[in-house]
């Protein structure tokens, strides 16, 4: 049977999104002011599932975490506090406690970039990279052998 006929399962690498964070496991800056790697430092990379490949239970747990993080309008939190809490709640199952603790200390701009990357990557059709043209779809749908 041809691989072209296979249904993509949740264990397929194309259903996961890798996000490189701007810090090391120790909390040091992984990149300099020009975006270049700082020698000897390794950036934390987190792997997130595409939203359309979350299991039903996993999806329900995420929705419950978002509802809890949203709270009520009269709980004294600002909209920015709610945004922080929602993003952190959705990331928590996919990060270690140490990385989650580092994320808590990050500015909103970092959290928004992670959230945007996750949303946009989950919306890109499988096998396509962001900005790929229809003529390149066939080439980009093949599994990469590089790691």
What pLDDT score does 134 carry? 43
Interval 112-140: pLDDT, tens: 999 999 999 999 988 765 554 443 333 33
Strand locations in 13-127 (E): 16-20, 45-49
pLDDT tens digits in sequence order for the chain, 147 residues long? 566 788 999 999 999 999 999 999 999 999 999 999 999 999 999 999 999 999 999 999 999 999 999 988 788 888 899 999 999 999 999 999 999 999 999 999 999 999 999 999 999 988 765 554 443 333 333 333 443
C-alpha to C-alpha distance for 142 and 14, rounded to whole angstroms: 10
List the structure tokens of 10.
Answer: 């949740």
> What phi and psi values does residue 103 have, to the nearest 5 degrees?
-65, -35
Rounded to an integer, what is the distance from CA 89 to the centroid of its chain?
A: 12
The predicted pLDDT at position 75 comes to 86
Q: Are 21 and 44 in contact (CB under 8 A)?
A: yes
């Amino acid at each position: 049977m041809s691989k072209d006929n296979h249904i993509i399962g949740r264990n397929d690498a194309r259903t996961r999104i890798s996000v490189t964070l701007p810090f090391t496991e120790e909390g040091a800056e992984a990149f300099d002011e020009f975006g270049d790697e700082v020698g000897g430092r390794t950036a934390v990379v987190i792997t997130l599932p595409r939203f359309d490949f979350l299991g039903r239970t996993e999806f329900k747990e995420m929705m419950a975490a978002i509802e809890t993080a949203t709270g009520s309008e009269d709980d004294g939190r600002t909209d920015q506090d709610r945004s922080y809490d929602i993003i952190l709640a959705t990331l928590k199952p996919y990060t270690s406690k140490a990385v989650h603790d580092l994320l808590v200390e990050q500015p909103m701009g970092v959290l928004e970039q992670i959230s945007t990357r996750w949303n946009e990557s989950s919306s890109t059709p499988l096998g396509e990279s962001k900005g790929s043209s229809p003529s390149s779809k066939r080439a980009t749908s093949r599994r990469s052998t590089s790691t």
